Amino acid sequence: MPTLSRPRVEPTRNLRIRRRLGQAAIALTALALAGGALAQQRVLRVISDRTDQGVLRPILQAFEARSGAKVEGVFMDQGLVNRLEARPTEADVVITKDAELLEIAAQRGLLDKIESPAIKAAIPPEFMDSEGRYFVDAFRGRVIFYAKARVEPSELSSYEDLALPKWKGRICIRSGSHDYNLALFGQFLASYGPERGRVLIAGLADNLARAPKGNDRAQAQAMFEGKCDLAIMNTYYHPMMAANPEQKAWADAAGVFFPSQQGKGAFVMRSAVGLTKARDNRDLAIGLLEYIASREGQETMVKATRQYSVRNDVPPHPLMVRLGDAQGLRDGKFKIDFVPLAAMAGVREQALRVVNEIGFDDRQ
Ligand SMILES: [Fe+2]
């Protein structure tokens, strides 16, 4: 047994009893408070096409800690808008990795206007729905990754350049009908017009090194293995691969090039949040949205998703600040071709039609 080096002063028996009673009273009060808090704990319901265990948790947990409310979620991979249409008040807040879906939901009258001066002040207008029914909470670029050993950034320029014969047999990409590529090809059609957009998609297909297969990271692996020299990928995969011991070599071998910086800019994919028609927890729902729009919320978002913040005062993830350095960009900032989300509705189907008509996935 350890001995105490200083003499211990024993409290009197009465004092000890009073202390014990005092402690018991405090414990009872705490229990009663906790019971009351449990009985009263409010629940905010979220519906999302992001996965619960994945990127959303840190943000929801931070909001729970701040608000004392519990956040319960319905998480689904597909069919977000249909679910919202079938059960419009099932959730208070809707969170999507694809802002086009909230544009569609807004057009179908499934979203309420967000009344919040804090959000209005925090979110730049290009990221806010013109009628205030949803806002973009982060975005990622869909850009060119190149094999540093075989391609100089000075050889690269625009998306349209990828259709030129000099890239014949040198490009890797996942399936043309995957959501990511439909989002990109839809923006080609919307921004460059249907004719030029179609020529670009077909030219890209002509230049593939192999029939599309695998996910985005598999394209970086193929580049690392020398199967191709360019790949179309989302920006966040570079830091994610760099942080993964098995994939770090793929990231190290790949440069990231932001296309069309002398032209209209690079295309991005936007994630977004909005309010459903449920009103019971409107104050809490707005609280969550305000947290997501806040500097702290955006920092959490950048850390969790490796997306870019919509706030000018929140810098890119430390592993992404130097992306684009080799082409003269600074601080990870790049020019964006903002295709309005309202203009995106419908182009996805057009893009899918083009992909099928030209047999994008059957090319060699
Ligand atoms: Fe992804």
Each residue's pLDDT tens digit, 22-49 = 454 444 444 445 545 555 899 999 999 9
Distance from the CA of 222 to the center of ligand 1, in angstroms? 17
What pLDDT does 220 receive? 98
C-alpha 22: how far from its chain's center? Answer: 51
Distance from the CA of 216 to the center of ligand 1, in angstroms? 7
Each residue's pLDDT tens digit, 280-303 = 999 999 999 999 999 999 999 999
Distance from the CA of 217 to the center of ligand 1, in angstroms? 9
Q: DSSP readout, 239-281?
A: HHHHTSTTTHHHHHTEEEE-TTTTTT-B-EEEEEEEE-S--TT
Distance from the CA of 236 to the center of ligand 1, in angstroms? 8
Share of the chain above pLDDT 90, in %: 82
Task: Name residue 136's amino acid.
Answer: V
Distance from the CA of 81 to the center of ligand 1, in angstroms? 20
Can you tell me the distance from the alpha carbon of 344 to that of 347, in angstroms, rounded to the nearest whole number?
5
Distance from the CA of 319 to the center of ligand 1, in angstroms? 17
Distance from the CA of 345 to the center of ligand 1, in angstroms? 21
Distance from the CA of 37 to the center of ligand 1, in angstroms? 39
pTM of the prediction? 0.86
Can you tell me the distance from the alpha carbon of 109 to that of 286, in angstroms, rounded to the nearest whole number?
19
Each residue's pLDDT tens digit, 171-218 = 999 999 998 999 999 999 999 999 999 999 999 999 999 999 999 999
21: Cα within 13 Å, side-chain hemisphere: 6
Distance from the CA of 231 to the center of ligand 1, in angstroms? 14
